[in-house]
Amino acid sequence: MARKKEVSAEQTQRTIIATAERLFMSHGYRAISTRRIAEECGITQPALYHHFPNKQAIYLEVVRTIMVQTERAMTDVLQDYANSRERIQRIAYFMIMNHQGDMTQMFHDLQYEIDEEHRQTIQDWWMRSYFNPVMQTLTEGIAKGDVMSLPSAPPMELSFFVLEMMKSFLPPSKQDYEARREFAEKKSTMLVDILFDGIRKK
Amino acid sequence: MARKKEVSAEQTQRTIIATAERLFMSHGYRAISTRRIAEECGITQPALYHHFPNKQAIYLEVVRTIMVQTERAMTDVLQDYANSRERIQRIAYFMIMNHQGDMTQMFHDLQYEIDEEHRQTIQDWWMRSYFNPVMQTLTEGIAKGDVMSLPSAPPMELSFFVLEMMKSFLPPSKQDYEARREFAEKKSTMLVDILFDGIRKK
DNA sequence: TTAATAACTTATCACTTGATAAGTTAACTC
DNA sequence: GAGTTAACTTATCAAGTGATAAGTTATTAA
């Protein structure tokens, strides 16, 4: 073993992932060079290759970190709230609070810049952490009589749609906590108001 | 003057724009090289620079073409339909039928890859061709009593949201006409069903 | 104290990128 | 038919890319 003082390898890796997340998620995979990541971490570019085998591995670790964090949060929401509307709102709130940039960028990168083999793995993670909680909320809502089963929108397609609605509310970049909190509160309310009641005058 | 036979310069330029649209809109600005565009047009890379000053100019012309086409279609919709719900559905139908990939990619490129000066121009185009028709439809709907004015979703924010809903339905790539038509019909119905009536059981 | 090794750095690779310079050819004007 | 020019091509550039090789230094186990 070696070098425990100064900054540990673990600390450096955390810095790399945090920096890479910020850069990749706002600018996209291709737009961010390994030199840029290294520079903003305060290390040289080849040092990245001591911690990760290649650029793609850094990206995958970023995505994995996000997914793990999300799955934990989703589990909490489903445990803490029983009402469908409240669950959807809390999920939206979490995503707006914790996800920067557009996640659409991430999905695009996953589809076009990442190898087939890893793509499948990540899609499985995504199903577990994002899709299933929403799907479960909606199907349970239908079963309980909270939620209407629209002929034009079967549960699965509805779930995808709800996630798309959430993605569309993500702020372009990270602001300070208080501004973000207020924004997330407002937008998550707007989302469930429209989603559950619609805009037609009754 | 010179060279009228074979393929005209105008024809070549149209080919370049059509090819660039297909490539840029599905893969993104950065992911598409000028060599790739040229190759798929059947010309050499420097030939592009005979028709356009640089890569960005090609991209801007692609975007302009899309916007012009959209503005025309939107005008038709507002002329042909008076009912708010029908208008929104026809707008959604047009977008799903005519826009490939995710437009979000386009917005990302405009924000991160295009010069400030052009960004403003394009934003103005976008307001005219996309935003205004939706905004007009919703405000008129509120005035007529078709549409409810939600406290959590003022008309402007609602309009942005509706456009985001539409964007989320865009198919990943172009299929054959009939499959696309069916898809667009289904998704535009789903959109207005959710948007106007919501999913809450009454 | 010494040998091993983690955690780096400097130097450099092959390759792709957008862009330019200079030459070529076909069509049109006169 | 000579000259001009539009519409290209071939050859090449400098800058930036991901990745590797080889050297350096500090820490730790023995």
Domains and CATH numbers, chain B: 1-53 (1.10.10.60), 55-197 (1.10.357.10)
Percent of chain B with pLDDT over 70: 97
Which residues in chain B are contacts of A24 at CB distance < 8 A? none
B44 Cβ within 7 A of any nucleic strand D atom: yes
Is the Cβ atom of A3 within 7 Å of strand D at any atom? yes
Contact in structure between B95 and B188 (CB atoms under 8 Å) = no
SS (H, E, C) chain A: CCCCCCCCHHHHHHHHHHHHHHHHHHHCCCCCCHHHHHHHHCCCHHHHHHHCCCHHHHHHHHHHHHHHHHHHHHHHHHHHCCCHHHHHHHHHHHHHHHCCCCHHHHHHHHHHCCCHHHHHHHHHHHHHHHHHHHHHHHHHHHHHCCECCCCCCCHHHHHHHHHHHHHHCCCCCCCCHHHHHHHHHHHHHHHHHHHHHCCECC
Percentage helix, strand, coil for chain B under 3-state DSSP, each rounded to 5: 75, 0, 25
DSSP track, B51-115: H-SSHHHHHHHHHHHHHHHHHHHHHHHHHH--SHHHHHHHHHHHHHHH--S-HHHHHHHHHHTS-
Per residue in B109-157, pLDDT tens?
A: 999 999 999 999 999 999 999 999 999 999 999 999 999 999 999 999 9
pLDDT per residue as tens digits for the range B44-61: 999 999 999 999 999 999
Residue B17, pLDDT > 90, answer yes
Rounded to the nearest angstrom, the minimum Cα separation between A163 and chain B is 10
Q: Which of A144, A170, A177, A178 is nearest to A91 (CA)?
A: A170
Residue B2: CB less than 7 A from any atom in strand D = yes
Residue A2 has what pLDDT?
42
Q: B156: how many CB neighbours lie within 10 A of its CB?
A: 12
Smallest CA–CA distance, residue A68 to chain B, in Å, is 25
- Give exposure, A181-200, as e/b (b: 16+ Cβ within 10 Å): eeebeebbbbbbbbbbbbbb
pTM of the model: 0.92
Q: Are A15 and A48 in contact (CB under 8 A)?
A: no
In the chain, the amino acid numbered A109 is D
Q: How far apart are CA B101 and CA A104, in angstroms?
A: 11
For chain A positions 106-145, those within 8 Å of chain B (CB to CB) are 108, 111-113, 138, 145
Residue B10 pLDDT grade (very low, low, confident, very high; cuts 50, 70, 90) = confident
pLDDT digits (tens, 9 = 90+) for B94-112: 999 999 877 888 999 999 9
pLDDT in tens, chain A (202 residues): 444 455 687 899 999 999 999 999 999 999 999 999 999 999 999 999 999 999 999 999 999 999 999 999 999 999 999 999 999 999 999 999 999 877 888 999 999 999 999 999 999 999 999 999 999 999 999 999 999 999 999 999 999 999 999 999 998 777 899 999 999 999 999 999 999 999 998 7
Q: What is the pLDDT of residues A151-194, one digit of tens each?
A: 999 999 999 999 999 999 998 777 899 999 999 999 999 999 99
Q: How far apart are CA B23 and CA B37, in angstroms?
A: 8
pLDDT of residue A192: 98
Per the CB < 8 A criterion, the answer to whether A153 and B199 are in contact is yes
A46 CB contacts (<8 Å, ≥6 apart)? none
Show residues of chain A in contact with B119, CB under 8 Å: none
Per-residue confidence (pLDDT) for residue B6, from 0 to 100: 53
Chains A, B: CB contacts within 8 A come to 126
For strand D, give the nucleotides within 7 A of a protein CB: 4-11, 16-22, 26-29
Q: What is the mean pLDDT of residues B20-41?
A: 97
Question: What percent of chain B has pLDDT above 90?
Answer: 89
Residue to substitute from B199, B200, B202, interface A, most A β-carbons within 10 A: B199
* pLDDT at position B1: 42
| Amino acid in position B56 | Q
